Amino acid sequence: MSAFVPDFQAAPPPRSGRGQRSSPWTWRWGDRLVLLCAWTAGLGLCAIAAAIVIYMGYRGIEYLTPSLLVTRPAIGTSQAQTGGILDPLIGTLLLTVIGIVLAVPLAVASAIWVAEYGQVGRARQAFARVVESSIEIVAGTPDIVLALFGVAIFQLGILAPLSFRAEGGGVYGRSFIAAGAMMSLIALPPLFVATRDGLRAVPMHMREAAFALGKTRIATIRRVLLPSVRSNIATGVTLGVSRIIGDTAIVVLLLGKTLHIETQGSTPVLGLLRGTGSSLTSYVYDNSPAGEGAAPQKAYAAAFVLLLFVLGLNLLVDRIGRSNAQSTGMSVAGGIV
Amino acid sequence: MLDRLRNPWSDNRAELTLGAVSLLVCASVIGMIVFVFIRAWPIFEHNGLSWLGPGGSLKTQLENMQATSVHPPASAYHLRAWPIIYGTILTTGVAVVLGIVIAVLSSIFIVELAPARLRRVAIPVIRLLASVPSVIYGLIAILVLVPFVGNHLISSPQKTSVQNSVQLTGEGLLVVTVTLTVMITPIMIALICEALAAAPRSWREGAVALGLNPLRAMLAVTLRAIRPAIVAAAVLATARALGEAVMISMASGASFFTPNLSHGVPIFLYEPLRTLASTIIDFSEGIGAPALDSTLYAFAALLLLSAFVLSIGGYLIKLPLRKYQVRG
């Protein structure tokens, strides 16, 4: 059930020759209606996407000032006093880094195992199936359920030192580590699928040539296979990043959407990681009329920054896919979601 | 010894390490399922399965849970969650049905009808639509659609006719379903387009040669052949719609009201509601009260279970359709 999608590059072959195509004007009314609906649906969706980007761009340029990006949020009664979005920006970047750093080794290692070791022998095939289905389960699990799971495990006694401690000593399982760990689960499926499919697409004779030169299996993986799937991993990372920065539920439940980044303890890096904060998404959520802040101008500004990130990542996926298609003649499964 | 230093990754050890990492991934997934169900257990223990049904006011039930201390009495666990289950089924069902129709039509448009230049624009644009974060959809819904519906579509007689039971502000079923449809359609389009492009062209050419016009050949032959892909797309979209929390929490009016068909159709569409996922996020501030915690985990367990049932169901539906399958 993983959400992977083609880049639609398999375009249909050219239309049939001149004069052979029947004109829609000779069709029955029902068929003409379907044709009209198809055009409306396709153009309508494009129009909706354009409207969203243009409207958010208009609002963003209206409300986003450079000073907003570098000032910290503050408590105030009017929108002029509530400060900027520096802390949410840092929060988003920090979560992305933690999530990706945790997800890449897990996803790449399990993809290598499944594609390279899990193909021979009954027990191994069974285990490879189990790994693949667990990743599918993660891909199909709503982020809100993952967030609740995070709350459950980071409230446990053993993991409590990793998260923020409230005044009275209560552990709510909230910290950058907790949120980042769950973010890595969100980024796991696209990374895993991209890497596994890349490895499967590497021709067998490349492995055979490496074995013939006396390389061991792991040396083949490190020196031959991993370099050749580098662009697949890059696509997976980009997809993972765009899922992480777009996620709200995990931040709201596991980071606590506090206004400022609040550190826990005095150790420099660890204190930050154990602290709470906010991200762009939770900032938008909190400042929309649905949240407590009710500062729509700030919400628009932050949402515009978020949309710019998403647009940039989309372009990046396209470019990686295209350069890979040029260099190897294979197309990477560029994906959505 | 020297050999071992030079080549620290012997094949066996490498395989074991990689396998251990894979095992870790499996363990965390199994851990997730186990944890969610363990934390949800008290609700099942006190209510049996009848918590899925209607009865009493869900609002007071959840407020009671929030009010109790660390050791809640058994009565605090009383829960009848039907209003939000109904809300979930309603929003998801309508959005998925609408979404399938729109997705099939626009996939035909993209693969078949659009001129090459338009197609080159439409594909990245629709892919962008799929990657817009849900909080941005929520923001647009609450700041643009809700005021529009509230000020222009709902007339004041409509507002007064139901004011005893519910306030109509524009937040509600209509805005949620429309936004949800826009969110899930691009996911389906991607899968359906892939299948359409992979279907053998000669089948359609045969149909055209027998006298069908190209569109009818598309509908009668190609679309029939890719039914498994349509089922897969619907399953994926349903899973996404079920789990959507943030957008619905922002745009649904966050009310335990159940949209009531007896109020007449236009009013029914404007009535606020809640879904399972949006309730979890709305009550996340109250995490720490054991009874409420276990309720939220029960909702999460229900979501997990339905995702599971969906993928099994999709597989079973696809089985008899595989006769003419081209891919998937």
The minimum CA-CA distance between B280 and chain A, rounded to whole Å, is 8
pLDDT at B194 over 80: yes
Interface of B with A in 184-223 (CB under 8 A): 185-187, 189-191, 193-194, 197-198, 201, 205, 213-216, 219
Would you tell me how many other CB atoms lie within 10 Å of the CB of residue A12? Answer: 14
Class of the CATH-defined domain B85-324: mainly alpha
The minimum CA-CA distance between A46 and chain B, rounded to whole Å, is 6
Residue of chain A minimizing CA distance to B37: A149
Residue of chain A minimizing CA distance to B191: A5
What confidence tens digit (pLDDT) does each residue in A173-209 have?
A: 788 888 999 999 999 999 999 999 999 999 999 999 9
Interface of B with A in 17-76 (CB under 8 A): 17-19, 21-22, 24-26, 28-33, 35-36, 39
Q: What's the rounded Cα separation, in Å, for the pair A261 and A95?
A: 12
pLDDT of residue A18: 47
* Residue A47 touches partner B, C-beta closer than 8 Å: no
ipTM value, please give it: 0.89
Closest CA to A116 of A221, A253, A22, A197: A221
Question: Chain A partners of B249 at a C-beta cutoff of 8 Å?
Answer: 290
Q: Give the 3-state secondary structure percentages of chain A, helix then strand then coil, rounded to 5.
A: 65, 0, 30
The minimum CA-CA distance between B155 and chain A, rounded to whole Å, is 23
pLDDT of residue A106: 94
Q: What's the rounded Cα separation, in Å, for the pair B154 and B173?
A: 13
What confidence tens digit (pLDDT) does each residue in B71-113 have?
A: 778 778 888 888 899 999 999 999 999 999 999 999 999 988 8
Strands (E), chain A: none
What confidence tens digit (pLDDT) does each residue in B111-153 have?
A: 888 888 998 888 889 889 989 999 999 999 999 999 999 888 8
Please state the domain extents for chain B.
Answer: 85-324
Question: Chain B partners of A113 at a C-beta cutoff of 8 Å?
Answer: 15, 18-19, 21-22
What confidence tens digit (pLDDT) does each residue in A97-110 have?
A: 999 999 999 999 99
The minimum CA-CA distance between A22 and chain B, rounded to whole Å, is 7
* Residue A87 touches partner B, C-beta closer than 8 Å: no
* Residue B311 touches partner A, C-beta closer than 8 Å: yes
Closest CA to A302 of A131, A10, A63: A63
Q: What's the rounded Cα separation, in Å, for the pair A279 and A306?
A: 10
Q: What's the rounded Cα separation, in Å, for the pair B218 and B222?
A: 5
- Name the architecture of domain A86-274+307-328: Orthogonal Bundle (1.10)
Q: How many CA atoms lie within 13 A of B69 on its CB side?
A: 1
Question: Chain B partners of A253 at a C-beta cutoff of 8 Å?
Answer: 281, 284, 287
* Residue A333 touches partner B, C-beta closer than 8 Å: no
What are the Cα distances from residue A82, in Å, to A86, A258, B306? 12, 14, 42
pLDDT at A112 over 50: yes
Question: Chain B partners of A225 at a C-beta cutoff of 8 Å?
Answer: none
Residue of chain B minimizing CA distance to A239: B131
Per-residue pLDDT averaged across A43-65, rounded?
92
Interface of A with B in 277-316 (CB under 8 A): 281, 284-285, 288-290, 296, 299-300, 303, 306-307, 310-311, 313-314
